[in-house]
C-alpha cells in the first residue's frame, strides 16, 4: 500500500523543503512525480465519474431527445433551457427546494448546536450514550428513515393522529400527505432527523477549538452564560459554523430520497432533483431532463460561490490545510 | 471534573434521555410497525396490539412473498458497497499518503476537487449515466453502480485519510531504522499500527455512504440483477406479490438497520473522530 515509504527511508518533512522559486531541484521533481503517481489515480477517477457526466449532460441538453422516439433527435441549441425556465413548474420546484433548504438548515443549525453542546459538556459516563445515540441517525439509510416517519404520520398505518387527538381543532382523519404544507413538514422533519448528526459533529469539532481559558476568563470577569456564548464561544467557532452551513445547504438542496418515498413529488412537493429525475428517467425526456440537471448543477455552483465569496468561507482552509 | 449537585445531575439525565428519545424514536417506531399483524397495522397505536414475526418470515423465510426480492437486493447492496468502498479506500490511501507526506504541485487542487465532487448533485450525473450505461451495457449491472458509487466514496475517503495521516508521527519510522530495523520492519511496526485505525474508520464512513445511496440505485437498475436495498424497499410498494407492503418494508428496514446500529455502538468514538477530523482541522 504505502510501499514507497520504504524506498525513501528519510524523507524530509514537507515544510522544510519548499523548492525555491523558478528552479526546482532534481529531488523535488522526483517527489512531485511520486506524489502524482500516488495521488493521480484517485484524482483522475474522481474527475471521470463527475466531470464527464456533467459535460455529457450539457451536450445532451442541447438536443431535443426522447428515448421513446430516439430517431427524432435534433440539435436545438438552448431551446430546452428556454422551455424549462419558462415553465412555472420549474420555478415552483425551485421555490420548494429553496424553502426546504433554508428551513432544514436553520433547524439543524440550532438543534445540531444543542447536540454538540451536549456531546461536549456531558460527563464521561453519559457522553458515550449521547454520542452513540446521536450517531444512529447518521448511519441509518435515508430511505429507511423516510419510511419510519412516513408510517408514523400516514393516515392508515400512522399513530401520530391519535396522539394528537386531544389538540382542539385537530381532525383525527387529517391526511398529512394530501397537502403541500403538512407534507413538507414531515419531509423536513425526517431530513432534519437524519442529517443533524453530521452538522452537530462539525460543530462539535468547532467547539473543541474554543480556547477553554478564554471561557474561564470571561466567567471570572462576571460574564453570564449567555454572554460567554455570544461573545466568546460563537465568534471562535465561526469558521466551523460556516463550513457546516455550507455543506448542509448544498446537501439539502439536492434532497431526493425522502420526498420520493413520502409523496413522490405530489401536492407541489417536487424538489428540483425529483423534477430532473421524473423528467429524464420517469418520462425519458433526456434533452429536457439534462437541461434541468445542468441547471441544478449551476444552482449548486452559485450557492457555493455566494458562500465562499460573500461569507468568505475558506473551505479548504476551514477544513484542513 | 468537579462534583455535580443533584439538580445538575438530574438535569443531565433528563437531557440525555431527551437525546436518546429523539435519536432512537423513528427506529423504535418502525421496529414496532414490523411486529404488527396485517390487521393490526391500522390500529392507530405505536405498540402493536398483537405481536407477530410474520413480516420477518415474509422477507427472510423460504417461500416468503418478498424473500427473493429482499435477499437478492441485500446481496447486491453488500457486494456493491463493499467493492466501491474497497476501491475508494485503497486509492484514497495512496492519495492521502502523498498529500500528507510529499510536497508536490497540485496537492491543494486535489483536495478542493474532492470537496467539489462531494457536493456534486447526484441527479445531475445520473441522467447522462442512465443514457450511456444503456448503450454500453453497464445498465443494471454491479459495475454500473460501483463506478458512480466511487463519486460518493472517494472524496470523503481522501479527506478523512489525509487528516488522519497528517497526525501520524512519521519520524518514528526513521527512528526505528536508526535502531536497526529494516525499512519494511520499520514501516510495519511504526506506521501501519498508527495508520490502520484511520483506514478502518474511513472504510466504515465510506461504506455508510455507499449503503445509503438511493438515486443511483433506482435510476441505473431495472431488475434484481443489481438493485440495492434502498431501491428495492421502494419497489415493495405497489408490487402485487403481496397485499400490503408496510409490514414487510418495516421488517426489511430493521434487518438492514441492526448491523449499522451495532457498528455505531462499537465504533462510535472512532467514527466521531474520523468525521470531525476530516471536517475541521483536528
> How many structural domains are present in chain A?
1
Domain limits at A248? 94-274+305-319
Q: Please answer whether residues B246 and B41 qualify as being in contact, where contact means their C-beta atoms are separated by less than 8 angstroms.
A: yes
B116 domain-assigned: yes
Of the candidates B126, B125, B95, the one whose C-alpha atom is nearest the C-alpha of residue B202 is: B95
* Closest of B208, B201, B196, B202 to residue B81, by C-alpha: B208
User: Which of the residue ranges A257-261, A309-313, B252-256 would you say has the lowest mean pLDDT?
Assistant: A309-313
pLDDT at A74: 85
Residue A261: inside a domain:
yes
In this complex, the residue of B99, B127, B151 whose CB is nearest that of residue A286 is B127
Q: What is the DSSP letter of A230?
A: I
Among chain A residues, the shortest Cα distance to B147 is held by A49
Q: With contacts defined as CB-CB under 8 Å, which chain B residues touch A137?
A: 23, 26
> Does A6 have pLDDT greater than 90?
no
> Which residues of chain A does B278 touch, with a Cβ-Cβ cutoff of 8 Å?
319-320
Rg (CA), chain A: 25
Which of B46, B163, B268 has the CB atom closest to A132's CB atom?
B268
Residue B261 has pLDDT above 80, yes or no: yes
Q: For B100-118, what is each residue's pLDDT tens digit?
A: 888 888 888 898 888 888 8
pLDDT, tens digit, for every residue of A218-264?
888 888 888 888 888 888 888 888 888 888 999 899 999 999 999 99
Q: Is B78 on the interface with A (CB under 8 A)?
A: no
- Report whether pLDDT(A141) > 60: yes
Domain CATH number, residue B155: 1.10.3720.10
Mark yes or no for CB contact A39/B45 under 8 Å: no
Please count the residue pairs, one from chain A and one from chain B, whose beta carbons lie less than 8 angstroms apart: 347
Q: Which of residues 229-258 of B touch A (CB under 8 A)?
A: 229-230, 233-234, 246, 249-250, 253, 256-257
Output the domain CATH number for residue A232: 1.10.3720.10
B chain contacts of residue A41, beta-carbon cutoff 8 Å? 91, 94-95
Residue that wins the pLDDT comparison between B282 and A46: A46
Chain A positions touching B138 (Cβ under 8 A) are: none
Whether residue A170 is predicted with pLDDT greater than 70 in this model: the reply is yes
Number of domains chain B is built from: 1
| Sign of the alpha-carbon dihedral angle for A268, A271, A277, A280 | positive
Distance CA A201, CA B68 (A): 38
The 10s digit of each residue's pLDDT in B147-204 is 999 999 999 899 888 888 888 888 888 888 888 888 888 888 888 888 888 899 899 9
How many whole angstroms separate alpha carbon A202 and alpha carbon A244? 6
Q: Is residue A177 part of a domain?
A: yes
- % of chain A with per-residue pLDDT over 90: 41
> Reduced to 3 states, what is the DSSP secondary structure of residue B221?
coil
For residue B219, the enclosing domain spans 68-279
Q: What is the C-alpha to C-alpha distance for residues B70 and B75, in angstroms, rounded to an integer?
A: 9
C-alpha B222/C-alpha A278 separation (Å) is 16
B119 touches chain A (CB under 8 A): yes
Residue B217 has pLDDT above 50, yes or no: yes
Residue B239: pLDDT over 60: no
Q: How far is B149 from chain A (nearest CA, A)?
A: 9
Q: Is the pLDDT of residue A179 over 50?
A: yes
**Percentage of residues in chain B with pLDDT exceeding 70?**
95
CA B148 to the chain's CA centroid: 15
Residues in CB range of A144: below 8 A, 6 or more apart: B30, B230, B233, B253, B256, B257
Beta bridge partners of A75: A63
Q: Are A320 and B280 in contact (CB under 8 A)?
A: yes
Residues A84, A214: Cα–Cα separation, whole Å: 54
Task: Select the more confidently predicted residue: B151 or A208.
Answer: B151
Distances (CA, A) of B62 to B65, B68, B142: 9, 8, 25
Domain assignment present for residue A51? The answer is no
Of B97, B115, B127, the CB nearest to A38: B97
A157 to B187: CB separation less than 8 angstroms, yes or no: no
Across the interface, do A38 and B98 touch by the CB < 8 Å criterion? Answer: yes
Interface test with B, best of A42, A62, A249 (most B CBs within 10 A): A42
What share of chain B has pLDDT > 90, as a percent?
37
Assess if residue B128 is contained within a domain.
yes
Its pTM stands at 0.88
- Secondary structure element (H or E) that encloses residue A70, with its range: strand A69-75
Confidence of residue A317 (pLDDT cuts 50, 70, 90): very low
- Residue A222 has φ and ψ, to the nearest 5°, of 90, 15
Look at residue B150 and tell me if it is in a domain.
yes
Distance from CA of B54 to the nearest CA of A (A): 17
> Is residue A73's pLDDT more than 90?
no
In a domain, A8, yes or no: no
Distance from C-alpha of B189 to C-alpha of B182, rounded to nearest angstrom: 10
Q: Do B102 and A11 touch (CB under 8 A)?
A: yes
The pLDDT tens digits of the residues spanning A264-306 come to 988 899 999 999 999 988 899 999 999 999 999 999 989 988 8
Residue B49 C-alpha, separation from nearest chain A C-alpha, in angstroms: 12
List, as one string, the DSSP characters of B63-78. Answer: T-TTHHHHHHHHHHHH
Closest by CA position to A128, among listed B203, B8, B1, B266 = B266
Tell me whether residue B16 is in a domain: no
Would you list the DSSP string of B101-156?
H---TTHHHHHHHHHHHHTS-HHHHHHHHHHHHHHHT-TTSHHHHHHHHHHHHHHH
C-alpha distance from A79 to closest chain B C-alpha (Å): 18
Nearest chain B CA: its distance from A73 CA (Å): 14
Residue A84 inside a domain? The answer is no
Residue B51 main-chain phi, psi, to 5 deg: -90, 145
Band (A10; pLDDT cuts 50, 70, 90): very low
Amino acid at each position: 500500500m504505502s510501499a514507497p515509504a520504504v524506498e525513501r527511508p528519510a524523507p524530509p518533512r514537507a515544510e522544510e523543503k519548499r523548492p525555491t522559486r523558478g528552479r526546482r531541484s532534481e529531488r523535488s521533481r522526483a517527489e512531485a512525480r511520486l506524489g502524482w503517481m500516488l495521488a493521480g489515480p484517485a484524482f483522475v477517477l474522481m474527475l471521470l465519474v463527475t466531470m464527464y457526466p456533467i459535460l455529457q449532460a450539457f451536450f445532451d441538453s442541447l438536443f431535443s431527445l426522447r428515448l421513446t422516439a430516439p430517431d427524432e433527435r435534433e440539435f436545438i441549441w438552448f431551446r430546452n433551457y428556454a422551455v424549462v425556465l419558462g415553465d412555472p413548474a420549474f420555478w415552483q420546484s425551485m421555490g420548494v427546494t429553496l424553502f426546504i433548504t433554508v428551513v432544514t438548515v436553520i433547524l439543524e443549525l440550532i438543534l445540531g448546536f444543542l447536540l454538540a453542546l451536549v456531546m461536549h459538556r456531558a460527563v464521561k459516563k453519559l457522553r458515550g450514550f449521547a454520542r452513540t445515540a446521536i450517531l444512529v441517525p447518521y448511519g441509518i439509510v435515508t430511505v429507511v428513515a423516510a419510511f419510519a416517519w412516513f408510517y408514523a404520520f400516514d393516515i392508515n398505518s400512522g399513530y401520530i393522529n391519535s396522539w394528537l387527538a386531544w389538540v382542539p381543532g385537530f381532525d383525527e382523519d387529517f391526511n398529512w400527505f394530501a397537502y403541500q404544507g403538512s407534507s413538507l413538514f414531515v419531509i423536513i422533519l425526517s431530513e432534519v432527523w437524519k442529517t443533524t448528526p453530521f452538522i452537530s459533529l462539525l460543530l462539535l469539532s468547532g467547539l473543541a477549538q474554543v480556547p477553554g481559558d478564554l471561557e474561564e476568563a470571561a466567567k471570572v470577569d462576571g460574564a453570564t452564560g449567555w454572554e460567554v456564548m455570544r461573545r466568546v464561544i460563537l465568534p471562535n467557532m465561526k469558521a466551523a459554523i460556516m463550513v457546516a452551513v455550507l455543506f448542509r445547504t448544498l446537501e439539502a438542496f439536492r434532497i431526493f430520497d425522502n420526498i420520493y418515498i413520502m409523496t413522490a413529488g405530489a401536492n407541489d412537493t417536487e424538489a428540483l432533483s425529483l423534477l430532473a429525475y421524473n423528467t429524464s428517467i420517469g418520462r425519458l425526456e433526456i434533452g429536457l431532463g439534462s437541461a434541468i440537471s445542468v441547471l441544478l448543477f449551476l444552482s449548486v455552483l452559485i450557492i457555493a460561490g455566494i458562500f465562499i465569496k460573500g461569507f468568505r468561507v475558506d473551505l479548504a482552509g476551514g477544513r484542513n490545510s | 471534573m468537579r462534583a455535580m449537585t443533584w439538580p445538575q445531575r438530574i438535569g443531565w439525565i433528563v437531557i440525555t434521555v431527551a437525546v436518546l428519545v429523539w435519536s432512537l424514536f423513528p427506529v423504535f417506531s418502525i421496529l414496532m410497525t414490523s411486529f404488527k399483524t396485517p390487521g393490526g397495522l391500522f390500529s392507530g397505536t405505536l405498540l402493536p396490539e398483537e405481536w407477530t414475526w410474520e413480516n420477518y418470515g415474509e422477507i427472510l423465510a423460504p417461500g416468503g412473498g418478498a424473500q427473493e426480492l429482499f435477499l437478492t437486493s441485500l446481496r447486491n447492496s453488500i457486494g456493491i458497497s463493499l467493492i466501491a468502498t474497497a476501491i475508494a479506500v485503497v486509492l484514497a490511501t495512496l492519495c492521502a499518503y502523498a498529500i500528507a507526506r510529499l510536497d508536490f504541485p497540485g496537492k491543494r487542487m486535489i483536495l478542493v476537487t474532492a470537496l467539489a465532487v462531494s457536493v456534486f448533485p447526484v441527479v445531475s450525473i445520473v441522467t447522462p449515466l442512465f443514457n450511456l450505461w444503456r448503450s454500453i451495457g453497464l445498465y443494471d449491472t454491479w459495475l454500473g453502480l460501483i463506478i458512480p458509487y466511487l463519486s460518493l466514496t472517494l472524496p470523503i475517503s481522501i479527506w478523512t485519510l489525509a487528516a488522519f495521516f497528517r497526525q501520524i508521527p512519521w519520524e518514528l519510522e526513521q527512528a526505528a531504522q536508526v535502531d536497526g530495523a529494516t525499512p519494511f520492519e520499520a514501516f510495519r511496526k511504526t506506521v501501519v499500527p498508527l495508520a490502520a485505525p484511520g483506514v478502518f474508520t474511513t472504510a466504515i464512513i465510506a461504506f455508510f455512504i455507499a449503503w445509503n445511496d438511493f438515486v443511483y440505485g433506482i435510476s441505473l437498475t431495472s431488475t434484481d440483477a443489481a438493485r440495492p436495498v434502498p431501491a428495492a424497499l421502494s419497489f415493495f410498494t405497489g408490487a402485487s406479490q403481496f397485499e400490503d407492503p408496510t409490514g414487510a418494508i418495516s421488517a426489511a428496514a430493521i434487518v438492514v438497520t441492526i448491523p449499522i446500529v451495532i457498528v455505531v455502538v462499537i465504533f462510535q468514538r472512532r467514527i466521531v473522530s474520523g468525521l470531525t477530523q476530516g471536517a475541521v482541522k483536528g
